[in-house]
Amino acid sequence: MVTGEYVFVHDLDAPGMLHARVVRPPHARARLLDIPASAVDRLAGDGLQLVRDGSFLAIAGPVEWQVVQAALRLAAACQWADNGGLPELDVFGQLKAGNAARFTVVGGVPGKGPVPDPLQGLTHSARFERPYLMHGSLAPSAAFAVWSEGRLQITCHSQGIYPLRESIADSLGLGLEQVVIAHRPGSGCYGHNGADDAALDAALVAMALPDTPVLLKWTREEEHRWEPYAPAMAVDLAVATSDGGRITAYSAEAFADTHRGRPRQGPNNAGPSRLLSNLLRADPFPAPVAIPNMKAQGGMHRNLDPVYAVGETRFVKNLVSGLPHRSSALRCLGATTNVFALESTMDELAEQNGQDPLAYRRAHLDDPRALAVIAALEERMAQTPVAGDTSGRGIAYAQYKNAMTRVGICVDIQVGELGEIILKHAIIVADAGRVIDIEGLRAQLEGGFLQAASWAIYEEVQWDRDGITSVDWESYPVIRFDNIPKMDVVVLDVPGVEPVGAGEASPGPTIAAIANALYNATGLRMRRLPFTPDAILRHATSV
C-alpha cells in the first residue's frame, strides 16, 4: 500500500508464464458433444494450447488478449448437449415444507426430531422472499498455478486455503503434501465467490502443461454466470397479539437451499463435489448433497428467532434441495431475510395497534443496551426532519446473531414518478461493545448499509432455459454513486464490556428500514426483494 506495488493475484507474473481462460458450457446442465477439428487446428496454428477433460475446456498461451479471443471463438464453435436447459420455474413456489428436510430450531440451534405442530390462534401472517443474489466481486476470480516435480503450487484469493488444499488434492488424486496453496489478495473476495473454483481451474491447466506457470482469470461474464450464489430464501412468519397489541405467540419458518457450499471435506466427496469444474470432467464427481447447518445461529436460521419478548414461539428450518443454481455463503447468510421479515412485521403490528413504531419495539424489549440504541436513534431522528410529499421514513432494529452488535437504522427515501427509490438520508446507531477502531467500525456499518441497500433496490439473478441472463453490471445492476445517501453514524460508548463483531450487523435492518420507508411513502407493503420500479408499479396496480 505504501509503495504502490501490485498485490492482487491477477497481477502475478513469472518467466515463461502462460495466460489461461476456461471455455464454459452455455449453462450448468449442458455438456460438450464435439469440438470441430478446424477449431483445434487453428489453436495449434496460433501457438495456443488446448486442455480438455470431459466438458472442461481451457486455452493457454503467452499473449493474454490472443487467449481471450481464441476462447470466445472456441465457445461459439463447440457443440453442446442442452440436456433440457435450466429449469424455468418459480423458485419461491419450490420453497415449501413438502420439498424440505425440516428441523426445529430452539435457542438458535436446529435439532433433529419431529417438527412441532403450528401454534394456535395466530392472527397475522405473511411470507417474505429474497431472490438469488451474487457476490458481484469487483474483479473476477483468478489463480496462479504450476505443476513441477510432482508438486502443485497454487496462489489464489480463497478465504479458506487449508480446506481448499484438501479438496484439490482429493480432486486430482494427489497426496496432501504434494499441494501447496499460498494466499494472495483478490479484489472483493468475501463470502464464497469464484476464488476456489478458479484455483481448481488453474490447477487442471497447470497439470496438463507441466513445468509451466499458468495465470488463469475468469471473465466478468464468467463470474456472473458461474459463481456460487446466495440461495433464494423465503420466511413464513405468523403472530398472535393481545388486545393491547403485545405479541403473545410467534412462529417463523425459513426456507432455502444450502448456505454451506464451500469446498470442505466430508462424506460423499463433499470437498471436490463443491468445486465447479469437477462436475464437468470426464470422470465427474457427483453433484454435492446439501448438508444442513446445525450450528447455533448458522445458515438460514441466523436471526430466525427475534430479540423481542414474544411469548410462545415456534421456529423451523426447511432445507430445500434440487433447486436451479449452485448456492453458498453470502454476507449475513439468512439474517438479512429473517430481519427483513421480523422488522417489517413489527411495523405492521405497530400500525395496526395505533402505536409509534419505536414505542412498539420498546414495549417488547427488556435489554437496556437495546433500549439505549432505540433512544439514541429516536433522538437523532428528531433532529432530521423529512421533507417532500413523496418522502418516506422507515426504521428497523436488530442484533446480529442475537449476541453481537446492536444496530438501529432510520432511512429517508423519496419515490420517483417511475417507481424508483431514491435514498436521501440514513441514520445508523450502533452498540458494538468496546470500540477499538472507531473509523473501521463506521466503515463496516456504512459498507453493510450500502450493500444491503443494493440488495433491497436492485439485485436479482435472472435466467431462462438457455442460461443465466444476468451477465454484467447492466443486466445485474448494483447501487451506484448517484444513489448513495447522506449517512449519519452514531457509535455508542459502552466502556467496560467486550467488543463484538460488527462486520455483518447493519445489512438486515437496512433492508427492513427501506421496506418500511417505502410503505410510509406509498402505502405499499412489499414483501419480495428487490424493490425495483417494475416491482413497485406492479404491486401498486394489484392492490
Q: What is the mean pLDDT of residues 192-196?
A: 94
Topology classification of domain 357-542: Aldehyde Oxidoreductase; domain 4 (3.30.365)
Q: What is the mean pLDDT of residues 22-31?
A: 97
Question: Residue 6 and residue 464: Cα distance in Å, rounded?
Answer: 39
At 132-165, the pLDDT tens digits run: 999 999 899 999 999 999 999 999 999 999 999 9
- Reading the block at residue 251, the C-alpha cell is 412462529
Helices 195-208 & 161-172, crossing angle to 10 degrees? 40
Domain 9-83+145-215 is in which class? alpha beta
- Reading the block at residue 156, the C-alpha cell is 489464489
Residue 359: which region, alpha, beta or left (left: phi > 0; alpha: psi -120 to 50)? alpha
At 486-517, the pLDDT tens digits run: 999 999 989 889 999 898 999 999 999 999 99
**Matching fold, domains 9-83+145-215 and 357-542:** yes
Q: What is the mean pLDDT of residues 426-443?
A: 96
Note whether 531 and 456 are within 8 A (CB): yes
Question: Residue 526 and residue 519: Cα distance in Å, rounded?
Answer: 8
Q: What is the mean pLDDT of residues 234-263?
A: 97
Q: How confident is residue 385, by pLDDT bands cut at 50, 70 and 90? A: confident
Question: Residue 57 and residue 205: Cα distance in Å, rounded?
Answer: 9
At 68-84, the pLDDT tens digits run: 999 999 999 999 999 99
Question: Residue 127 and residue 225: Cα distance in Å, rounded?
Answer: 28
Average predicted confidence (pLDDT) for the chain: 96
Least confident of 378-392, 450-464, 512-526: 378-392
At 33-75, the pLDDT tens digits run: 999 999 999 999 999 999 999 999 999 999 999 999 999 999 9
Report the pLDDT value the prediction gives residue 191, as an integer from 0 to 100: 82
Task: Tell me the domain boundaries of the chain.
Answer: 9-83+145-215, 357-542
At 394-422, the pLDDT tens digits run: 999 999 999 999 999 999 999 998 999 99
- Reading the block at residue 466, the C-alpha cell is 438457455
Report the pLDDT value the prediction gives residue 388, as an integer from 0 to 100: 65
Report the pLDDT value the prediction gives residue 188, as an integer from 0 to 100: 67
Report the pLDDT value the prediction gives residue 390, as an integer from 0 to 100: 67
Q: Give the number of other CB atoms < 10 A from CB of residue 461.
A: 22
Report the pLDDT value the prediction gives residue 150, as an integer from 0 to 100: 97
Q: What is the mean pLDDT of residues 158-181?
A: 97
Identity of the residue numbered 493: D
Strand partners, 423: 413
Report the pLDDT value the prediction gives residue 51, as an integer from 0 to 100: 98
Q: What's the full length of the chain, in residues?
A: 543
**φ, ψ for residue 360 (rounded to 5)?**
-65, -40
